[in-house]
Amino acid sequence: MSNKLYTEEQVRTIIGKAQMLNWDDEFLFSEDYLISSLTPIELPTDEEIEEFSHKKYMEVEDSRWFEPLQVGAKWMRNKIQGGNNEQ
């Protein structure tokens, strides 16, 4: 099982669907169906961040922004995941 992020709105919607019962007091939706109906938030990998920052650097040709962009993006991604935010 991989770590995935969902919005509060998505979680509330899925809880509402999970509470739905048919006439036989059985759940109408399986757990797998409910989870597969959500679209997780995808966070960039280190490689994607580095590729993007390199691309931006090539556009503006200003190396002052190369490392801060990478560091900031990785910091924010880690913060969203609840991980270590120390630099």
- The pLDDT assigned to 85 comes to 58
Q: What is the pLDDT, as a whole number, of residue 22?
A: 63
Distance of CA 44 to the CA centre of its chain: 8
- Answer yes or no: is pLDDT of 7 > 70: yes
What CA–CA distances, in Å, run from 66 to 16, 37, 55, 59?
A: 45, 38, 9, 11
pLDDT value for 84: 63
The pLDDT-based confidence of 2 (bands split at 50, 70, 90) is low
Q: Going by C-beta distance under 8 Å and a sequence separation of 6 or more, which residues neighbour residue 65?
A: 53, 56, 57
CB-based contacts of 10, cutoff 8 Å, min separation 6 = 38, 39
Q: Is pLDDT at 1 greater than 60 in this prediction?
A: no
